[in-house]
Amino acid sequence: MSVRSSFRIGFAVFVLLAAYVPGAGRDAASPLSRPISHFSIGKTSVLDALFWLGRDERVCIGIEFSGNDLSRDVQVDVDQSTIGEVVKKILGSSDAYQLSVSDGVILIRKKGVNPPAWLDHRLPELELPRTELMWADIRLSMALERDLSPSLQGFAGDSPGTDPIDEVGPFHEREQTVRQLLIKIAAASRGASWFPSTYGVRVSFPACVNRFWTFVTYSGQPAARPK
């Protein structure tokens, strides 16, 4: 065998091994650096604008703070940018917020503000069959409620379904935080986001609300786009 042939074989093996390294290329695939040619949204809340961006670009977003920042009015019209830069423009500051990515989901945290404690709560187990997205979210919230209050017997509430139906799972997770589980469910969907439930804050998309978070799906008919 020639030296050139040996080199080609060795290089091919290296490429195959690199392709199977866990997490390989994940940073390069960060949605924050993905270029977009245009994004425009009329006057709406910061929260709603973020989710319209998420729907347009099929990016899931997890928001780890609440408050007036999310209900502030904003209007955005940008060309030739990246998703990360548009997120910063919607938020109105590049210094007050921290952006990160986990499993393709953009996480937004406000600097100097601790995320809600329930995000870091670790559940002993969550087992879900393959199921409709919003039902998976409900099952997660029920698991959290039961873990916090073992004597809790019943649950009440309602949520929209997805149309077309968006199924996720199956999941069998142990000792994962609520944050990790929300990321897993959203990342497995065709598009979803969440934020801490706050009275009076509304979004244009079908959503399931519990006392901890509001889970938004892009699979469904949103309200008219602000112009």
The pLDDT tens digits for 119-168 are: 999 999 999 999 999 999 999 999 999 999 988 766 655 678 899 999 99
Provide the pLDDT for residue 224. Answer: 94
Provide the pLDDT for residue 155. Answer: 60
Greatest distance between any 2 Cα atoms in the chain: 73
Provide the pLDDT for residue 29. Answer: 74
* CB 72 within 8 Å of CB 92: yes
Provide the pLDDT for residue 132. Answer: 97
Provide the pLDDT for residue 158. Answer: 64
Let me know if 66 is exposed, middle or buried by CB neighbors in 10 A (0-12, 13-18, 19+).
buried
Let me know if 78 is exposed, middle or buried by CB neighbors in 10 A (0-12, 13-18, 19+).
middle
Q: What is the pTM of this model?
A: 0.85
- By DSSP bridging, strand 192-196 and strand 207-209 are unpaired
Provide the pLDDT for residue 72. Answer: 94
Provide the pLDDT for residue 35. Answer: 97
Provide the pLDDT for residue 11. Answer: 41
Provide the pLDDT for residue 23. Answer: 36
Provide the pLDDT for residue 71. Answer: 93
Provide the pLDDT for residue 24. Answer: 36
Cβ-based neighbours of 24, under 8 Å, separated by 6 or more: 18
Name the nearest CA neighbour of 186 among 101, 70, 118, 97. 101
Provide the pLDDT for residue 14. Answer: 38
Which residues of the chain are under the pLDDT cut of 50? 3-28
Provide the pLDDT for residue 18. Answer: 38
Provide the pLDDT for residue 150. Answer: 87
**What is the domain partition of the chain in residue ranges?**
117-192
